[in-house]
Structures are given as C-alpha cells and as structure tokens.
Structure 1
C-alpha cells in the first residue's frame, strides 16, 4: 500500500449475536484540532501529574513510571485524567510487574467519568494475552455488571516484565484496539457519554505505565488506516444467504462479522419508512404493487421470505424503526440508502425515526439522489453522508465538498477504471466505499488502490478474506540485532556474539563495518580499532525485506589492555615485563617497550594493538 495517512479507525466490527449496546448518546467533539496532543506524560516529575485523579487503589510514580496495584480480582482500581474527546488516539506503554493469575488485566479507559463511577468503557489487555479473550472491549454497567462486546487474542503473551506498546483509536461509538502497532480488534458498540475522560486501570496485580499520549484525531473514522483490512458492508444484509432487506438477513450478516448492514428505505402510502429495495413488492414478497401505493398494514401482511427459500416462510418486510431497534439491541450499524426521489418531509420522517430509535450515532446515510443528501444535511448535519455513483464525477472532490460528504461511494468497476481519484479524496478527508463487489480477485485489486470499504453480497466471505489479509500483513519479515546491543560500550576483554532475531525470513545477511559477517559469529575485539563499529542485518522473506543496525563502541581500558597482553602470544619474560608496567600504570613506557620488542618477544600484530592502546591510556 502507498497510503501514508495517519488517520483513525475504519468502521468497526458489529457484535455477533448476544445482547450488545443500547442507546448511543451523541457527543460533541472536543475543541482540540486534529493532531493536537491533549495528554503527553512520561512521569519524569516523580509524582502524579496535576489533574490526574487516583480514584481508588494504590497509585505511585517511581523510576519514571506510574505504578498501579490491585490486591484482588474484584478491585478495578483506576486513575482518571484528560478530558472528553469524540475522536482520539490513546497510547501507552504497559508492563505487568506481577499478577495473581494470567487472567488478570490492565486497561485503557476510553470513556470514564472523572470520579470513576459507572458506567465506563475500557480496552483491556490480560497478561495471558494469547487467550481467546486476551484483549477485550468491555463496559462496566451501573449495575456493576460486565458487558463484553468484543474479544481477540494477541500475537504473543504480554506476560510479566515486558513492555508492550498499545493504543486505542476511537471515533464516537467505534474503536480499534492496536497491539504493538497492529490492529487486533474493532468494535462499533461503545456507548459514549458527553463528559467521560480517559483512565488507566489495574486488576489483580501490579502494572506500570509510561509514555502516555492522547491525541485528537480527524472526525472521519471511515478512512482505512494503513495495514488495516476493509470495512465490510453487507449489501441488503446477508443477501446471498437469506432474503434481502429482512431482519433474518441482518442477523446472519451480523453473526458473520459484517461491520455494517446496508439497506434501502422507502415510504409506504401512509408515510411509514420501510426497508425495501425495489419500487414494487413484486420480486421479494408474495404481493404486488408499488410500495408507495400500499399502506403499512398491507405491507406488513406480505410474506418476504418464501421467495428465497422454504425455511424463510413468514419473514416480513421490516419498518425502518424495527430494523434500527434490532441493531440497537443486538449490535451493528446501518448504511442506509434513501432509495429514489424523496421530498424533504419524507427525509425528515426518516431522520425522526433514527432519532426516536436513538441511533443517530450508528447510521450512515447514502443515496444516488443529491436532493436527498442535501435535505439530510440540512435537517441532521451530524449524520455522515455518502454519494452513490454508477460512474465517477469529473471532480469527485469538488462534489464531495459541495455535499459535505463523509464518503464517495462509486461502482467498484468504475473505481478500478479510475483509481487515481482515491488519493485526492483521501487528502480531502473523504472515504471511498465501492459497490457491489463479490469476488476475491476484485477485493484484492480494490485493496491495492486503497479503497476503504466494500459493499458486498458475500459479507462473511469478505470477513474471511480480511482475516487472511491480516495474516499476510503479519507475515512481513522483522529483524532485530540483540547482541551487541545498540549503543553498547565494550572493552577488549569482552567477546560478544552477533545475535539476530528474525521472523518470516528466508535469508539473513549480516555485515560488520560493511564487511561480510554472520549471525552467531564471535567478535574478536582485540583486532578491532577503538571507536564505533556498525553491524547491519538484512532479512528477506516472501513478504519483503527488513533491516536493522546496531552500533557499538570499542573502548580502551586497563582491563582490556591486560587481556591483550595475556592473549598476545608473547614469551614469558615479555608477559611479566608488560604486566608489571600495566599494574603500575606506566602506559607510555609500556608502549615504547612493546614497540622495541615487536616481532621479537612480542608478535608484531599483537604488539601494534598493545602499543596503541597503551598510548591512548597514557593520554588519559
């Protein structure tokens, strides 16, 4: 991928089955500008920073880190800080110092009342991070119960005594859990308050934190960050597996891991918004007639499932209110297409239903109809908007600005024919959602041109493709030189071995000061000149190459000079003479004597190094 945008999270995973989030309370973005650092703390002051509130538990600053201790698994000890933000990235270095069990955890508080009272939302990491629930998004309710909306495992266990850099990127009710630089999990089920702040938590152990950074992000959370998979949008629900635009299709798509459900809305004769794609009920029900000529009662009497398969007999055409209620209570977000021409009053009715169902934070409106988007913006500017296009505009950025678009949503094939439009749209902060693409070959091409989201009839298959994409991403080679450590100062008496740690690599090439060497090679520091030396390692694997360098310094010391003398191969009398001069610190005399004995009682090559180091010590 070529994108270098550092913008926030793609739309997040819906909760698969089970009870999920209830009402989403809208919250106004904080006053900070995107990119503004809201909190930056390394605890160098030696005390708890001003404005940080140790709500409960033992919290102390020591050795440049913040330590929190919780004596039991029932104590969710926390410290709160920062301020309310709608779009932000929260980063920290976390280290489990000790835990009572591998199930114990520490968390980044995403939305926590300043006084620590419930309800609050956290992004959790267990010390046993590779467990199926090693990472979690969870809420502690006012009834002191847990609602765990999403779980995932990390690529390795945090364990104890190991620093792990973690981050959470939040956009309203959506968040992305990032473990050591890689996305591990998403959620779309946060319930945001209007005043919750950030926090740190510890449960059942002692955890230390360092380098806390909270940064304001741009508001468009639909742009796909580099290395992250597509946002998966289920076209008319799981339309390849169930009757389209029904609640059962929505349920199957949700359980299959779709991030968003895409459906169409049109009014009945009596003005009730229904979920239906065609302008007639003929194709997808056992009835006939235009939807706008049928009353709500007539539409609700229709069978919308038997046409697809006998197991779906009795499925009904849902109202928009019914669909939103299902999403609200069972999890998920709605990409809602306003289908066909709508008056301003008809659009107002749609928006009122969304408000009544408390789903303003979880609905994205799209349409082919420019007027429908203009009405939506006029009536509810907080709703994100997407313009559907069968062919691309001459200037997609210009129309995006004119219509206040969050996303530009073209036919995928038209997009593939003009991929150059994506970069300027991204630069303008506009996401790109392609429709309706149903094959892995097309997904691969769309990924390469940096498309953000895919509307597809095969949502569960795209979810699987995304998983494979993440595995491919994690297959990129890595390399680290673990010995000698970068910045090490070594004397002649030491004999370090070049050690290289690599992953996903087929070959490893190592050089010392530009000359070929090898991992496992023991360095003979007696033969290296004093000063800086550089080891470089390059690894190559199926997914590319990676490099690392380590620069160490060979120092001149009395102990090192003693080692040179003892290993010089000089005869016994010469060894005695050199050792006496070394012991008395007679470095200049030692250098002169060795020069005279070079090639005689002291081998010439060894004599040159001994004399040079002795003169360096003489200069002191």
Structure 2
C-alpha cells in the first residue's frame, strides 16, 4: 500500500508542527504539497541561478561536482520549508579516506551562517556512523544526534540514491530507497534552506530535487517501519509515567513517549494515568485533591521495584524539559474531562518550553481536542477510541484531527478502515499492542504507529523485519573510468581498461567489439591510428545497463619509435628503422616495413609501422626522403635502399 500517494492528496490537513521560534500557524509555505521547489539535472552545464557556492563547485559531464581537500565546502539553494523531501543521486569520485563525507543540508541559511542541520553520508557507509543526522552549532562544533550504518558501502564511483524526508523537527534518512534512520531532534531556523556539503572528498551529484510534502508527517511512507510509541514510557521495564521510564524508552529507540496529563489541586499539570495516586505511588487520594507540593513528595517508583525507590511524579514542565535536553517527542494524552482553562494551562506549559514542534495531543475527550485546536492550532491532535466509529473518516474530519487512534484489536478486525483514513490524509496509531503476532498484522495493514509497553522490543522487531522483508533490487550501474573519455594516446602508452560497476551480476567489456578483461592493459601497437570505442555492459536484477566512451590513437614520432622497438623485428631491421626515424626519413621506413613484412618484420606490426610512417611523412611533406651520400640511406647490408 502506497500511503505516500494518499498523503499528497491531503492538502486540508491540520498543521502538524511549526518551526521553533520562527513560524506560526499563519505562516504557511507558499508551495502546496506535491509542488517541486527545486529541480536540477545540470544538463545545461551550468550551476542554477540563485545557488550560492563557496567556489569549490563546478558542473562537469552533466553533474554538479563539489571538491574539498579539507574542511567543509557547501552550496546552498532552495528556501525554507517545514515539510519536504530532499533527494539526489550522489557519487564519491575521490576521497581522502573512508571517513570523509558528503551531506545534505536540511536547514542551512543561504549565507552559510551556523547553525546547520544536515544528513551526512560517509564513503564508508557500512561503519557504525556511516550515516548521521548532525548539527554544526553556533560554536562551529558538531553535535551528532543519530548514527547508523548502511547495508552496503557507498565507496567511490558508485551512484547512491539518497532521500531525506523532513517534517518540522522529524526526519527520515533513505539510502537506495530503504529507510535507515529517523530523528526527532532537528531544531529549525526561520529561513534556512537546503544545501549540499562535501568534506575531504570530491563528490558529484545529479537529479537534485526538493518536493513539498503535506504537513502530516505522521503518515508512514511505504516501506518504512511503524512509529514506535512508548506507552507511559517503557512501562514494562520502569515505573510508568516517570522520567525513568522515559529514559529507558528513549535509550530503547522509541520515537515517541506516550504519557497522561492531569491537573493537581492547585492547577499544575502532572504526569499520571489514574485519577488517583493509589496504584503507582505510596500515597492515596485523587490527583485533583492533592497540591503540587503533596504530589512531589510521593514515591512513584518503589511500587514497581526497589531499584526505583524515590522516583517522583514529574510535572508536564519537567517532562518537557527532559525531552528537550535529552531528545524525544511526546504523545500527550489529556486524561479525563478538562475545562477550557485547564487545557489552556497545558498549552501554555508546552509553548513556554518551546516544544510545540515535538508534542502531539490525543484524548478520548472530544471537548479537550476542540479546546486544543482552538487554543493551539499548531499542535497536532489525535482522537482516541476504544473501538471503531461507524464512519471513522467523517468523525476525524469533523474534529479536524491529525490521527485517529483506536485499539489494535479493532483495527485488526477491520483493517479497511486504515486505508480509508489514509485516503483522507489521516494517520492511524493503534493502542496498546505488546505481541509480535499483532505487530505483524498491524504492520501489514499499514498502521502508522503502535503504542506499546514494550518499545525496545518493537524497535528490534521492526529492524529485523526490515532486514528480512523483500527489498526492491538496486539497479545495476556501470561507468568506464579508463581510458578516460576522449583521451588521445600514442603507441608508447599502455592504458588499463578500468570499469566501475555496482549491483551487477555480470560485466562485459569490449574494445572495437572485441571482448577484453577489465583491469588488463591495452596493447596499442596493433590498433589502427584514429578513434576506438570502449563499451561496457552490466547485467543486474533489473536488467542490462550500458556505457561507452572513445579514445584516439595518435601517430607520433615517439609512439612509432616505441612500436619499432617492440615489433619483434630482427635486431638489424630494428636498428636500421630506428636510424631512419632519428633522421626523420619516414617514407623510407614505410617502404622498408612493407618490403620486409612477414620476413624481417612480423606482418601485423609491419602494416602498422608502414601506416604510421606514411602518415608522418605526409604530415611533413618538405622533409627529404633520400640522401644519396648518407650511409643511413642504405639497407642493413650496406646496399643502396631500393
């Protein structure tokens, strides 16, 4: 199921997030979902107008080439977009070492001022940090937030299809069509656009494209794993709704922390699921009957394990501060009935923390969702349901929610509802699912996210499933590296046939139609002067690809001397011809080679010697062909040359 198509149709979605400290709900990008903001294939040989480079960038052979002996060299373009897909074909042509890299700037000011946010790819992509999300901060120091390895090495001479999908502070890293990594840690600027960066390498790019995406970044792109949402934190491994559970879930790789919020007696939003503190603390009583000071004095960890003794109930502000400092997003359930003023307090805490981009509000309470939308249209909302409505799409649209979130059992019983919601541009998050059998069913049905008490297990299960799922085969590629295209060579040279192929089961190379082995040196001694054609054909799972180039064998005096020396002619014949060549008597050499062909000079070489010598004689018509008194005008037996 290709949910990306449905997502592109969702132009009426509620805004999923805004750029921190810069955009508001009244500041939409001018492009519509699906609009192409940048498209460049460099076939005209020019850097596009409006692209700003630091001088290390050129266009060659229909590709943009960036070169950096050391340090970062960048080229910036595009404009600020909150939701977009940045894709390009990238190839490392030369690297100082396997740790050198190229990067795709996700938020880089046109003037190059820091901070930058980038998605990095090393030539040694199979290293543990082969792919990264990173920030070059205001101190020009690197803050690497996420790393992973790719299944294959980018290496050199190989085209890699790169794509990064960005939604506010979230981004997905795709390598040759497969998602490798997600981040929720981007910090967006007010005006940063896109960029390409090279470091310690020469990298070429083609088909650079930036496309605007719908604001709902919670719809799962085809072929990617489900979003992992840790129910009350990692509640199977730590006391629920505490910062300890949040930390365990974060370390386990959860994309979101799901927690519940309710007000204390004095109106402070606290993180707690039950209406009372009895089950999960050493206290008693309804949360709304206890002051914030009384709630903070409770032990919220000992009930789960002595190892968590002294763990406290966090306020919403404390939870947000922890997420902001250490990473992660919050799926925040407004638990139970709330007044408009109580919802307004929750919204104020989120805004004061600068976390509007990283909080998603959900609730069973329709009024709470309506208040949230009125007070904070920039916050995405999700409707929680115990079962499925008769018409989930109509209900979701009526409330203007970003996601419709029923139980996993309800969705497994009626998976068609998922497709209907996706067609309307509405994400689907299932709760609360802890079994691999159900994860599999929901994954196959196309659910976007799963709320689970076992986030680390779901992360591992998804990773294993990605490895074993059928992958679209990468297309074969082949290029001819040597002889260099349009090279002019003489017979003294012995170029090696060099071919770079990727994802190929078989590679065939020919020179003028004759099969040769890649890596062997070409013998130019028997090739006719003029142009010759090298062709390479690579066969992969998706078919055959071809490449071709030409080189020219030029007639030169040095080349002819080398040809005579290596012709296999007898020693006296070689000496005689060399003497004539030194004196520039090319016509004599031509006549002699023809006369002695198959005798003193092997026939094949004699024909080439004669042709090259005749060509040199024709190129210098004023040079005398004979010198009657010159001993060198006699053959190797001392007789006059006839």
TM-score (norm 2): 0.72
Contact 1:69 1:206 in 2 (8 A): yes
Q: Using the TM superposition, give the Cα deviation of residue 175 of structure 1 relative to its aligned residue in structure 2, in angstroms.
A: 0.4
Q: Using the TM superposition, give the Cα deviation of residue 94 of structure 1 relative to its aligned residue in structure 2, in angstroms.
A: 0.9
Aligned to 2:142: 146
Aligned to 2:189: 193
Q: Using the TM superposition, give the Cα deviation of residue 5 of structure 1 relative to its aligned residue in structure 2, in angstroms.
A: 3.1
- 1:77 matches 2:73: yes
Work out which of the residue numbers 457, 461, 466 in structure 2 matches 1:465: 461
Work out which of the residue numbers 374, 377, 383 in structure 1 matches 2:379: 383
Q: Using the TM superposition, give the Cα deviation of residue 57 of structure 1 relative to its aligned residue in structure 2, in angstroms.
A: 4.3
Q: Using the TM superposition, give the Cα deviation of residue 547 of structure 1 relative to its aligned residue in structure 2, in angstroms.
A: 5.8
- Note the 1:388-537 alignment, pairs <5 A: 388-473=384-469
- Note the 1:280-291 alignment, pairs <5 A: 280-291=276-287
Work out which of the residue numbers 252, 258, 267 in structure 2 matches 1:262: 258
Aligned to 1:368: 364
- Note the 1:287-326 alignment, pairs <5 A: 287-326=283-322
Contact 2:7 2:423 in 1 (8 A): no
Q: What is the root-mean-square deviation of aligned Cα atoms in Å?
A: 2.4
- 1:120 matches 2:125: no
> Mind listing any 5+ residue stretches in structure 2 that lack a counterpart?
9-18, 480-500, 507-536, 548-642
Aligned to 2:39: 40
Partner Cα separation in structure 2 for residue 78 and residue 311 of structure 1: 50
Deviates more, 1:339-348 or 1:63-72: 63-72
CA deviation vs aligned residue, 1:203-233 (integer Å, no higher than 9, x gap): 0121111111110111111111111001000
Contact 2:504 2:539 in 1 (8 A): no
Q: Using the TM superposition, give the Cα deviation of residue 162 of structure 1 relative to its aligned residue in structure 2, in angstroms.
A: 1.4
Provide closer, same or farther for how the CA distance between residues 262 and 82 of structure 1 changes in structure 2, counting only shifts above 3 A.
same
Work out which of the residue numbers 104, 108, 126 in structure 2 matches 1:108: 104
Bigger-Rg structure (1/2): 2
- 1:68 matches 2:66: yes
TM-score (norm 1): 0.75
Contact 1:90 1:168 in 2 (8 A): yes
Provide closer, same or farther for how the CA distance between residues 42 and 477 of structure 1 changes in structure 2, counting only shifts above 3 A.
closer
Provide closer, same or farther for how the CA distance between residues 126 and 479 of structure 1 changes in structure 2, counting only shifts above 3 A.
closer
Q: Using the TM superposition, give the Cα deviation of residue 6 of structure 1 relative to its aligned residue in structure 2, in angstroms.
A: 6.8
- Note the 1:2-13 alignment, pairs <5 A: 3=3, 5=5, 7=7
Aligned to 1:336: 332
CA deviation vs aligned residue, 1:263-303 (integer Å, no higher than 9, x gap): 00000000000000000000000000000000000000000
Partner Cα separation in structure 2 for residue 60 and residue 548 of structure 1: 32
> Mind listing any 5+ residue stretches in structure 1 that lack a counterpart?
9-22, 484-498, 509-534, 539-545, 553-620
Contact 2:478 2:538 in 1 (8 A): no
Work out which of the residue numbers 155, 167, 176 in structure 2 matches 1:180: 176
Partner Cα separation in structure 1 for residue 232 and residue 323 of structure 2: 14
Provide closer, same or farther for how the CA distance between residues 205 and 252 of structure 1 changes in structure 2, counting only shifts above 3 A.
same
Contact 2:232 2:257 in 1 (8 A): yes
Aligned to 2:212: 216
Q: Using the TM superposition, give the Cα deviation of residue 379 of structure 1 relative to its aligned residue in structure 2, in angstroms.
A: 0.1
SS of match in other structure, 2:295: helix
Aligned to 1:583: none
SS of match in other structure, 1:5: helix
- 1:170 matches 2:183: no
SS of match in other structure, 2:419: helix
